[in-house]
Amino acid sequence: LRDNANFINFCSGKTLTNGQQLKQGSCSGIVMGDIPAQSNMISTIITNPQAMQDIPANQDFQVNLQVDNLQAGTFTNPDNTYYAAPQALQGGKVVGHTHVTIQSLGNDVNTQQPPDATQFAFFKGINDAGDGNGGLSADVAGGLPAGVYRVCTMTSSANHQPVLMPVAQRGAQDDCQKFTVGQSSNNQQNAQNNAGSSTGSSAASSSSSSAAKSGQSSQAQGGNSGQGGNNGQNNQAQGGQGGQGGQHGGFGGFGGFGGFGGGRRGRGRFAVREFIA
């Protein structure tokens, strides 16, 4: 989509974005603004809670994250400046802030159903600069009820619009993590069940290995018994050379059959919370 007038009339006849959060939707005529260089693209990692970490129910905890290339701490009034100004840079980095949002996944960490975007258990805009080195945090006062959750970041420019990056092919600027609350007893039971399954598998494997070794040993012994056949052949050969000793050679042959027989025998065996944008 292109426009020779740079889309100056794109919002003509539409409800204009006016600095308020218009739930019915609107059209923003504000230009997108400054876009950082590829070397200053934003990247985020959530360091707490960790993947599938279990947190006690209804107890305070903190969400911690590390963000690269964000000039954090600029947060305009979301009641009257929402999307009201372009993205800006300072020292080549986007001026803005990030948010933390936590949603319930019910009791299924592998749910195939996307959570309702209008529902959340916790939401907070982090409007401070953190430790000055990209470290930011949000306190979850009172904790969360028992359940399975997803925590995500949403990085924004100063006026709350999602940050703009210079290229399409890149890593994400935000992060998500799944964790549980009040599930430690269930996790312990699952661990015990897994341990029991592992022990049973090991025992079966050991038994099969012992049986295989025993069978191999029997085959080896049977093979040794079969050496009688060689003796019989030797005796037959001697009998042929001796002329008159043919009968003895014949008996040697019977010895050979006995050895073969021996060889055969050897082969036998949530909750909704007040939030800050």
**Which pLDDT does position 262 carry in this prediction?**
40
Entry pTM: 0.69
For the stretch 117-127, pLDDT in tens is 999 999 999 99
**What's the whole-number mean pLDDT along residues 141-170?**
98
Residue 186 pLDDT = 63
Residue 193 reports pLDDT greater than 90:
no
Tell me: pLDDT of 99 over 90.
Answer: yes
Q: What ranges do the domains of the chain cover? A: 1-30, 38-187, 224-262
Give pLDDT tens digits for 26-83.
999 999 999 999 999 999 999 999 999 999 999 999 999 999 999 999 999 999 999 9
Q: Three-state SS for 5? A: coil
Angle between helices 184-225 and 246-266 (to 10 degrees): 170
The confidence score (pLDDT) of residue 157 equals 98
E strand or H helix at 206:
helix 184-225
> Percent of the chain beyond pLDDT 90?
64
What's the confidence (pLDDT) of residue 220? 40
CATH architecture assigned to 38-187? Sandwich (2.60)
Which residue's structure tokens are 């001796």?
A: 242
156: nearest Cα among 80, 101, 102, 91: 101
